[in-house]
Structure 1
Amino acid sequence: MTDTWIILGASSTIAKAFTRSVAQQGAAVILAGRRMDDLEANAADATARGAAQATPVAFDARRPETFDGVLHAALASGGRLNCAVFVGSMPPQAAIDADPALIDGTIADSFTGPARLLQMLAPHLAEQGSGAVVGVGSVAGDRGRLGNYVYGAAKAGFATYLSGLRNQLGRSGVHVLTVKPGPVDTAMIQGLGKQPFMTTAEAVVADIHTALRKKRNTLYTKRIWWPVMTVIKLIPEPIFKKMSI
């Protein structure tokens, strides 16, 4: 059976790299996002690379009325369903401090919107008894840090959700992978200055495929982020709250 990948946030740099990789494997792709012109171009590229089918679908994590269209397109494909979530937004913390209303969109983009769609998809995944979910979070979700704690809170919530979904769907043979990248060379981090342990979208995608093959539950990419975040999580709170990391 041909795999069908629902790709949420399909216009992001990492999502495009992931789309190219599964298209070359002959999968069908449902490209879901806000920018239809970009999605249509991505669909044409995916088809040229060998995708069995490439369907652009309007999706906005802040507008639940767009969710049914994604699900219907996926079910109509007739393939084995999989889903990869690349949705997220990260306003500067200073902008959120000035306008707390920005919190709503950040949480919807990075947590509640994708979680709601996955919850709609879960019964279909459980019924087919196989497939995979790839949820892209962030190392920022491992501990609330001064510079991006609202974004970190959203990604922490999404990681906890994925953990529960993994517990649920794993009983039916569906694998759920939580991905925690550090800084990736994408538009999201432009303007933040030099970042430690920077990686590329292509490297993240290669790590995702390796983690899927090995049935890993959580992936830190680059790998160095696992020991780094382990140390950060162990710093006592009285000390941590005085630090500027």
Structure 2
Amino acid sequence: MQHTWVILGATSAMARAFARALSEQGHALILAGRDMDDLKTLAADCTLRGASDARALRFDAREAKHDAPILDALEQAEGTLNAAVFIGSMPEQARIDDNPLLLQGVMQDNFTGPARFLHAFAPMIEARGGGTIVGVGSVAGDRGRIGNYAYGASKSAFHTYLAGLRNRLGRAGGHVITVKPGFVDSAMTWGIKGMFLVAAPGIVARDILRAVNKRRNVIYTPGFWRLIMLIIRTIPEPIFKKLSI
């Protein structure tokens, strides 16, 4: 069956690994992001790896005007339509504390921008009676922690949105997967102090593909983060608020 995947934030490390894996399966790709030169290079690489089609289109979560060309390209594509959202930003919490105006950008990049696009895309899945959406959130969204609670709040909102969208699209044959990675070796996390158990982007891409094939609802990747976050979520609040984690 012909599949077309749109990947938002396609030049991120996790998205690149995911796009290459999809290419090897022969799917068509719409690679969307802000760096057009990098996207075009990635599109050429995906074509060489076996993608039936690979094109680059501009997408910025803070600019709604970029949605329409991508949605038009999807409307014209044949077969099952799918989307994977890797886009996001994570300024240091200290920077946000110094300049609260940065909160708007964090919410746009991690929640409102992706949700805006997916809400316009959802009717296409309903009309065709199938398709998958992969939304990449974060373990940071499971509980507000002093080190990154602004970023965590934006991801928590995205998780909630994806849960509701999963309920909606499941009634029309579609499916939505919420992905919660831990620390991943990427440009966004480069140089951050205190990281541990850092995963390679290829490991995350592998876990996402497995989740797509098995129609999983929510996954932690790597899988041990499910236990770590279970422990963090169950720490009583009087104790938790004294911890620097």
TM surpasses 0.5: yes
Instruction: Provide the C-alpha distance between the structure 2 equivalents of 1:230 and 1:25, rounded to a whole number of angstroms.
Output: 35
Q: Which residue type is aligned with residue 231 of structure 1?
A: I
1:91-106 map, 5 Å: 91-106=91-106
Report the TM-score, using the length of structure 1 for normalisation.
0.98
- The match for 1:114 is 114
1:143-182 map, 5 Å: 143-182=143-182
- The match for 1:33 is 33
Please tell me whether the aligned partners of residues 28 and 79 of structure 1 are also in contact (alpha carbons under 8 angstroms). no
Please tell me whether the aligned partners of residues 85 and 134 of structure 1 are also in contact (alpha carbons under 8 angstroms). yes
Give how far 1:53 is off: 0.8
Deviation sequence 1:58-99 (CA, Å, 0-9, x none): 110000111111111122222310000001000000111111
Instruction: Provide the C-alpha distance between the structure 2 equivalents of 1:46 and 1:194, rounded to a whole number of angstroms.
Output: 34
Give how far 1:184 is off: 0.2
Instruction: Provide the C-alpha distance between the structure 2 equivalents of 1:50 and 1:209, rounded to a whole number of angstroms.
Output: 17
Please tell me whether the aligned partners of residues 9 and 32 of structure 1 are also in contact (alpha carbons under 8 angstroms). yes
Q: CA RMSD in A?
A: 0.9
Q: Which residue type is aligned with residue 84 of structure 2?
A: A
1:88-237 map, 5 Å: 88-237=88-237
Unaligned ranges ≥5, structure 2: none
Report the TM-score, using the length of structure 2 for normalisation.
0.98
- The match for 2:49 is 49
Give how far 1:212 is off: 1.4
Instruction: Provide the C-alpha distance between the structure 1 equivalents of 2:32 and 2:73, rounded to a whole number of angstroms.
Output: 10
Deviation sequence 1:95-124 (CA, Å, 0-9, x none): 111111111111100000000100000011
Instruction: Provide the C-alpha distance between the structure 2 equivalents of 1:107 and 1:51, rounded to a whole number of angstroms.
Output: 33
- The match for 1:86 is 86
Instruction: Provide the C-alpha distance between the structure 2 equivalents of 1:4 and 1:199, rounded to a whole number of angstroms.
Output: 27
Please tell me whether the aligned partners of residues 197 and 222 of structure 1 are also in contact (alpha carbons under 8 angstroms). no
Instruction: Provide the identity percentage.
Output: 54
Instruction: Provide the C-alpha distance between the structure 2 equivalents of 1:194 and 1:44, rounded to a whole number of angstroms.
Output: 36
Give how far 1:37 is off: 0.5
Instruction: Provide the C-alpha distance between the structure 2 equivalents of 1:32 and 1:235, rounded to a whole number of angstroms.
Output: 39
Q: Which residue type is aligned with residue 197 of structure 2?
A: F
Which stretch shifts more, 72-81 or 155-164? 72-81
Give how far 1:194 is off: 4.5
Q: Secondary structure at the residue paired with 1:208?
A: helix
Flag as ranges the 4+ runs of structure 1 deviating above 6 A: none
Q: Secondary structure at the residue paired with 2:30?
A: strand
> How many aligned positions are there?
245
Instruction: Provide the C-alpha distance between the structure 1 equivalents of 2:222 and 2:54, rounded to a whole number of angstroms.
Output: 30
